[in-house]
Amino acid sequence: MPQNQSGKFGTAPVFFTAISTILGAILFLRFGFAVGQLGFISTIAIVVVGHMVTIPTAMAIAEIATNQKVEGGGEYFIISRSFGLVIGSTIGIALYLSQAISVAFYVMAFAEAFTPLMHWIVERSSLHPQFESFLLMKQTISVPALLLLTYIMLTKGADLGVKMLYFVVAILGVSLLAFAFGHTAYAEGQGFDPIRNISTVSDTMPLSFFTVFAIIFPAFTGMTAGVGLSGDLRDPGKSIPLGTMAATLGGMVIYVLIAYKFALSADPVALSDTSRLVMQDIALFGWIVIPLGLAAATISSALGSIMVAPRTLQAIARDRIFPSSIVNHWLSRGRGKTLEPVNASTITVLLALVFILMGAIDSVAQVISMFFMLTYGSLCLISFLNHFAADPSYRPRFKSRWYISLFGAIAWIGLMFFMSPSYAMIAIVAITALYLFNSYYNRDKHSLAVIFQGVIFQFSRSLQVFLQNAKKETISTWRPSAVAISEHSFQRLGAFDLLAWISQKYGFGTYIHVLKGYLSRETNQKAQSCRERLIKMAEDKDSNIFIDTVVSPSYTSTIAQVVQLPGIAGTENNLFLFEFSASQPDNLPDIIDNLKLIKSVDFDVVILSSSIRGFGLHKHIHVWITTRDYDNANLMILLAYIIIGHRDWRGAEIEIYAIYPEDRINEERNRLAELIEAGQLPISTKNITLIPQQMDISADHIIKEKSRDADLCIIGFREESVVHVEDNVFVRLKDMGNILFVNSAAQKKIVPDQQMDNG
């Protein structure tokens, strides 16, 4: 894996950024509370269950980072390059907001370390009441702390930030050692009891296991904090997995040891009092060491967030996600060789300052926790999908297991609703709104990412093999699996639209654009260009059809190739669609010459005669049935029904005209009415018109008279009539709209089997 030549950091910053976030404010302020409420054994259960979720995420990150070069943006880069830019940027923006607001959260927690000092100053001095209130405000400490961090990041960048990180982590380590070697009288008098909790020494009802779990669990979720430094690492593929896994496992061990120390050294009642900092009472020189440790834990977390959040924002802007090109350019700019994100840092600090001045950010903190969980779940899902896709280019040096990643993805989503269903729903609604916004302003970035293509490929491959190997039962119902060919795709859209209507809901369509000639590099490139144009057309029209191109020297060879194409949707192709211009039927002789070839493989054939009027208003479809259409009639009615199922034909009506000898009129009217009713087709009996056959008036004359304003006429034809009359069958009806000529290989059933049997 290539190294990042502009990167300067090794594994240590990743480890220290993650471990300082894991061992944060909750460790000092709330972890003892968990031991007091539940006892040692149940607290260990919280640690184990929590890490059953976080470890799969750490393994997923380690796996992904050892397969690809993780550039600037860390988690955002991984997600956007796996799920595509629209989905990736949606999660990325939510992740950035979480990271930025976390800066405010940690800085305000940092101010908590100075609360005893401020109270001490107020108690021992005679200050003006307003000044006393000012000293006791958390903003008194948090705002200057944020401004100091801002100065460091904007003037010195990540270099000094990492050096400060080493310093504050050292303080954090010293405070934990002082706590570990602390001694209390309680430890001598009571001894260690792994089961004892507050209920054994107090009448107070303890909180439930899951309530305490929801309070403590966010402490374990800082394992990905170091991933955001990916753009500044010499070898992200080595440093990210090593630093992340070491911090995750190391944090787990430390939490177990601290839980043991709490259970050994402190009264459960004291531990359950959230207003006391019990670690102070246990640690050596606790009065000074523990507040310093709390300050170090929170400021290191804030420092990690303030280094990572701007890099996420900078990476999003580099992908030109925001609607304004000016905003994208300004945010993506960096200073120096390492492109230090000064502008993105400015926005991050201003955003954090707003939330600090607001003061109460508890509700916001719960929402951003949901965003973090969505991010972690996405990382696990990426790992699982990569395993499922079985892409030969996915060869990570560190390998997780697919079931571990799947468990992690499900567990994160489940935990969101378990911890707070209301905030989980708020987060999902916010993500959905953000996705719609990104989709609207990034329409050029809608392509599926490679990971989805791989998954779809594997699923399709397995499904095709299953369908081929499965024992085929005789299926009497018919659905179209149509193939259309045309040389005039960019001049006449009739066949393209008709295929889209036929295949939108009830069937499947393959559209083949034909280029006459011999296959060569030049014709192949031209075919690829045509294919891309047609795919874009299909996307713009939201057509559910498969597009391809064929280069062939003759019409017959083209048809011979196309009729042998396998069915894409697991069903063999059964319907062939031709098209010609009613005013200039140049290609009609080729169609007629090859009808026998098509019929030899038992395909249904439909031939569209395209007029200047096109499909008109998409409101009226006329189906014409004669005595010669016994085999064609049902297919004609079915095609009309399928076409009006498309939204382009919303509100359209099917009108059936039948020309029969006068002595059979009543019989045929009853037969058609029963067929329509039993087949549950949306055709009113008043829309069925039977016309007596007259010797002195041709059927063509009647069709022109009745259907000159129809938007589509469907007329049957027989193969032998084409042979005898040649192309007159298809060009005899002039000055009308589009006409669809239908020839069925066999009679189709409209009525389900059980109804036919009963009939």
Domain count, the chain: 2
Residue 579 lies in a domain: yes
Residue 242 lies in a domain: yes
**Do 277 and 383 belong to one domain?**
yes
pLDDT digits 0-9 by tens, 233-269: 777 778 888 888 899 999 999 999 999 999 888 888 8
Q: Do residues 528 and 549 lie in contact, with contact meaning Cβ atoms separated by under 8 Å?
A: yes
Sign of the torsion angle spanned by Cα atoms 541, 450, 411, 423:
negative
* Domain CATH number, residue 337: 1.20.1740.10
- The pTM of the whole model exceeds 0.75: no
pLDDT of residue 501: 92
- For the beta carbon of residue 269, count every other beta carbon within 10 angstroms: 13
Backbone angles phi, psi at 301, to 5 degrees: -65, -40
- For the beta carbon of residue 492, count every other beta carbon within 10 angstroms: 17
3-state SS, residue 470: coil
**Do 417 and 553 belong to one domain?**
no
pLDDT of residue 699: 82
**Which residues neighbour 640 within 8 Å (Cβ) at sequence distance 6 or greater?**
621, 623, 654, 714
Out of 394, 417, 445, pick the residue that ends a domain.
445
Q: How far apart are CA 649 and CA 61, in angstroms?
A: 49
Q: Low-confidence residues of the chain, pLDDT below 50?
A: 1-5, 753-759
**Which residues neighbour 567 within 8 Å (Cβ) at sequence distance 6 or greater?**
481, 508, 573
Residue 476 lies in a domain: no
**Do 441 and 485 belong to one domain?**
no
**Do 17 and 105 belong to one domain?**
yes
**Do 636 and 592 belong to one domain?**
yes
pLDDT of residue 756: 39
**Do 430 and 504 belong to one domain?**
no
Q: How far apart are CA 736 and CA 612, in angstroms?
A: 9
**Do 425 and 487 belong to one domain?**
no
pLDDT of residue 266: 87
Q: Do residues 682 and 644 lie in contact, with contact meaning Cβ atoms separated by under 8 Å?
A: yes
Residue 182 lies in a domain: yes
pLDDT of residue 759: 36
Residue 295 lies in a domain: yes
Residue 463 lies in a domain: no
**Do 521 and 380 belong to one domain?**
no
- Strand blocks (E) in 465-541: 481-486, 508-516
Closest alpha carbon to 373 in 91, 106, 102, 61: 91
**Do 440 and 494 belong to one domain?**
no
Residue 451 lies in a domain: no
Which amino acid does the sequence have at 75? E
pLDDT of residue 712: 94
Out of 418, 445, 472, pick the residue that ends a domain.
445
**Do 224 and 346 belong to one domain?**
yes
* Domain CATH number, residue 491: 3.40.50.12370
DSSP structure class, residue 340: B
**Do 185 and 273 belong to one domain?**
yes
**Do 399 and 485 belong to one domain?**
no
Out of 445, 473, 496, pick the residue that ends a domain.
445
Residues in the chain: 759
Q: Which domain holds residue 169?
A: 12-445
Residue 524 lies in a domain: yes
Closest alpha carbon to 596 in 471, 507, 720, 479: 720
Regarding beta strands 653-660 and 620-626, do their DSSP bridges make them parallel or antiparallel, or are they unpaired?
Answer: parallel
pLDDT of residue 330: 93
Q: How far apart are CA 38 and CA 27, in angstroms?
A: 16
